[in-house]
Structure 1
Amino acid sequence: MQLLFIGGTGNISAASVRLALQQGHTVTLLNRGTRSLADYDIHGAESIITDINDEAATRAALGKRSFDVVANFIAFKPSDILRDIRLFSGRCAQYIFISSASAYQKPLAQPIITESTPLKNPYWDYSRDKIACENACTTAYRESDFPITIVRPSLTYETVIPTAIGGWNDYTIVERMRQRRPVVVHGDGNNLWTITHATDFAKGFVGLLGNQQALGEAFHITSDELLTWNQIYDAVGIAAGTGPVEKIHIPSSFIAKLEPRMEGSLLGDKAVSTLFDNTKIKRVVPGFQATTSFQTGIRRTLEWFEEQPERMQTNQACHDRLDKIIAAYQPTFDALKPI
C-alpha cells in the first residue's frame, strides 16, 4: 500500500513506520525534517519536507498524489482535522487520526475501559481538544463519507522515559535516581496503570492500515500488562542500575495545586487507574498481542539514550521543581542530602 504518515519520527510513530516498511509498504513521511531518520532507525521511507500547517505549501508538495492510507500523528486541534479533510478528501481510502486514551471519562464510572467508554475530561485541555478532533472526524464520516479511523494510544514509549512526574524526553529522572535523590510519586503509588512499548503499539496500528473493518471505528491499542506506579518507578531504577528507588508519595491534588500545569496529566489521566479491554483491536487485527514487558522495554529505552551522549540531557529546572514539591509537602526535606 501507499502510505503517508504526517509526522512519522516521533516517540509513537517511528516504530509504526519501521514495521510498515518491513511489511513491504511504501511509506512517505511528511514533516518539517527537523529529526534525523537514522536516529529512529528509519531506512527506506520517502521524505517530503514541509509544514503541514502551511496548507498551500503542503498542497503544492503533494501535487496530484493520492494514498491508500493517510495517518496524522500530529493533529491536536479540530482545525487540523478540517484542514486534512480539505487536503485529502478523494485522495485517500483511509484517514487515521491519532487521538489519546486520556480522552476517556475522568473520573471513570466503570473500572474497565472499552472504546464505548464516554469521552469526557474536565481537567485537561489537551484531551478536550482530542475529543473535539474526534467529533470532527466522526461528523465528516457521517455526513460526507470521509473514511476515518480513530486510534487512541495510552502512555506509549520508546524514546522517552514514561514516568508521571519528572520524566519524558530528557534524562533527568535517571540522573536523579543514580544520585540517590528521591522521586515524587503521585498518590500512594498503588493505582494501576498500563504502559505500552511503541513496537507493540505498531503491531496493532499497522494491522489497521487498509483494514475495511476499521473504517468509521475507534480503537485503543495498549499492552495488557498492569503495573502500579510504584512498580513503574522501581523498574526505571532497576534499568538505571540503582534498584528500587526512594519515593516521596504526595497526593495528586496537592501537586496540581502547587504546579497547575500538571493538573491535566495527573487528575485528567495518571491519577486514575486504567484497565483497558483490548478485545476490539484483537478482533479486527487477529494475532495482535503486546509482548514487551515494561522491565524489558525501559532497558531498551535507556540504552537508546546512552547510545549517544547528546541524548542524555538533564534539566536542573526539573530537579528544582521536584525538590520544591517535596519541600512543600515535607518541610524537613533537605534537597542537598541524598537519601
Structure 2
Amino acid sequence: MKVLFIGGSGLISSASSELAVARGMELFVMNRGLSARYPLPAGAVHWQADVRQAPDAAARLLQGHFFDAVVDWVAYTAADIEQDIGLFRNMTRQFVFISSASAYQKPPGHYLISEDTPLANPFWDYSRNKIACEERLLAAYRQEGFPVTIVRPSLTYGPTQIPLCMGSWQHPWTALDRMRRGQKIIVPGDGTSLWVMTWNGDFAKGFVGLLGREQAIGHAFHITSDEVLTWDQLTVQAGHALGVEPDIIHIPSDLIAAYWPHAHGSLLGDKARSVVFDNSKIKRFVPDFVATVPWQEGVRRALAWFEADAARQTIDEEANQVWDTIIQAYLRAFPSS
C-alpha cells in the first residue's frame, strides 16, 4: 500500500508513521523539514516541501504518483481543505482528514460521545475551523465522490508529552516541576470531570487500520482509549509516578479563563467538560483495535523520557506566573483553600 502523510512529524503522526512502515506500507512524508524529536522511521521517503506556502513545489514532487491513501495532518482551515481537494482530487483512493474530538457539541447533550454526536463548539475557533473543514469535505464527498475519511483524535500523548489539564504543551515538564517543588497544581472545577487520555501508539493501531479501507470512505471516527479517569485521578497518578503527592487546588474554570485567555478555548471548549467516548465504530471497522496502555503506565513511560535527559526538562516561566496569579486571586476570595 502506498501512503502519503502531509506533515507527519508530530506526536501522533510519528507513531502512525512507525506502525505504517512496520506493517509494510510504502510511506512518503511531505513536510517543511524533519523533526529531531520525531524522526522518520527507516524506510520512509521524505519530501521537503511546504504544501501550504509552496503548493507548486509540492505539486511537482507529486507528479506521476498515485496513492492508496493521503493523510493531511496539518489542515486547520477550510482554505487548507480547498487546496487539498484541488491537489488530491485524482491522486488518491482515500483522503484522510485529521479533525478533532473537540469539535463535538460543547456542552455535551449526552455524557456518551459517539460519531453521531452533533458538532458545535461556541468556545474555540480551532474547533469551529475543524468543523468547517469537515463540512467542506463531506460536501465534496456527496457532490463529486471525493474519497474522504475523517478522524477525530482526542487528547493523545506519548513519550514526549504529559498533558495535564493545566499544563504547558510546549514545556510539559513545567507542571511536573511544580509537583516536585511542592507548589500547588490547578485542577479546574472540583476535579471530578471525566477525561480520556490516549497513548499515541494505541491511537496508531486504530488509525493505520483505517488506511486503504474502502468501507471507511464517507465516515468519521474517533480513536481513543476506553479508560476513563477524573482530572484528579490523572493528576494524582502523574504525581505518584514522580514519587510525590501533588498539592491540588480546585479553581473554577471561568476564573481560570478570565486570567488566562489561552484557556478559554482549550478549557471551556474542551477539557472542563466530561468526555466519555463510545469506540464501538472504530472497533467494527478495525476489529483488532484495542488500547492497551493505561494512563498509569503511559505517564511513567513519558516521565522516563524526560528524566533521561535534563535538557528536555524545560520550564514555561510565563505559564508558571499565570498559574500563580490565578491561585493568588482564588486564595484572596477563599483564603482557607
Q: TM-score range by the shorter chain?
A: over 0.9
State how many pairs are aligned: 333
2:292 maps to 1:291: yes
Supply the distance in 2 between the matched residues of 1:114 and 1:270 (Cα, whole angstroms): 17
Q: Scaled by the length of structure 2, what TM-score is found?
A: 0.95
Secondary structure (helix, strand or coil) at the match of 1:57 reads: helix
Q: For residues 187 and 106 of structure 1, do their structure 2 counterparts lie closer, same or farther at Cα, with a shift above 3 Å needed?
A: same
Shift of 1:44: 2.0
Question: Paired residue for 1:45?
Answer: 44
Question: Paired residue for 1:83?
Answer: 83
Shift of 1:311: 2.1
How do 1:305-316 residues align onto structure 2 when only pairs under 5 Å count?
305-316=306-317
Secondary structure (helix, strand or coil) at the match of 1:28 reads: strand
Supply the distance in 2 between the matched residues of 1:42 and 1:240 (Cα, whole angstroms): 30
Identity of aligned residues (%): 49
2:186 maps to amino acid? V
Secondary structure (helix, strand or coil) at the match of 2:332 reads: coil
Q: For residues 311 and 44 of structure 1, do their structure 2 counterparts lie closer, same or farther at Cα, with a shift above 3 Å needed?
A: farther
The partner residue of 1:185 within 172, 177, 187 is 187
Shift of 1:63: 2.2
Shift of 1:36: 2.5
Shift of 1:100: 0.3
Q: For residues 210 and 246 of structure 1, do their structure 2 counterparts lie closer, same or farther at Cα, with a shift above 3 Å needed?
A: same
Shift of 1:34: 4.4
* Deviation per residue, 1:66-118 (Å, 9 max, x gap): 21100011110011111111111110000000000000001111111010000
Q: Does the Cα contact within 8 Å between 1:28 and 1:47 map onto a contact in 2?
A: yes
Q: Scaled by the length of structure 1, what TM-score is found?
A: 0.95
Q: Does the Cα contact within 8 Å between 1:166 and 1:322 map onto a contact in 2?
A: no
Q: Does the Cα contact within 8 Å between 1:161 and 1:167 map onto a contact in 2?
A: no
Q: For residues 251 and 190 of structure 1, do their structure 2 counterparts lie closer, same or farther at Cα, with a shift above 3 Å needed?
A: same
Q: Does the Cα contact within 8 Å between 2:259 and 2:322 map onto a contact in 1?
A: no
2:316 maps to amino acid? N
2:325 maps to 1:324: yes
Q: Does the Cα contact within 8 Å between 2:9 and 2:40 map onto a contact in 1?
A: no
2:46 maps to amino acid? S
Supply the distance in 2 between the matched residues of 1:142 and 1:81 (Cα, whole angstroms): 15
2:59 maps to amino acid? R
Question: Paired residue for 1:237?
Answer: 239
Q: Where do 5+ consecutive residues of structure 1 fail to align? A: none
Supply the distance in 1 between the matched residues of 2:256 and 2:333 (Cα, whole angstroms): 17
Supply the distance in 2 between the matched residues of 1:222 and 1:200 (Cα, whole angstroms): 8
How do 1:1-339 residues align onto structure 2 when only pairs under 5 Å count?
1-36=1-36, 39-40=38-39, 42-53=41-52, 54-158=54-158, 159-170=160-171, 171-242=173-244, 244-331=245-332
* Deviation per residue, 1:129-160 (Å, 9 max, x gap): 00000001101111111100000000101122
Supply the distance in 1 between the matched residues of 2:286 and 2:309 (Cα, whole angstroms): 36
Secondary structure (helix, strand or coil) at the match of 2:9 reads: coil
The farther-off stretch of 290-299 and 233-242 is 233-242
Q: Does the Cα contact within 8 Å between 1:96 and 1:148 map onto a contact in 2?
A: yes
Supply the distance in 1 between the matched residues of 2:333 and 2:105 (Cα, whole angstroms): 38
Shift of 1:332: 8.7
Secondary structure (helix, strand or coil) at the match of 1:330 reads: helix
Shift of 1:57: 1.6
Q: How big is the alpha-carbon RMSD for the aligned residues of Structure 1 and Structure 2?
A: 1.7
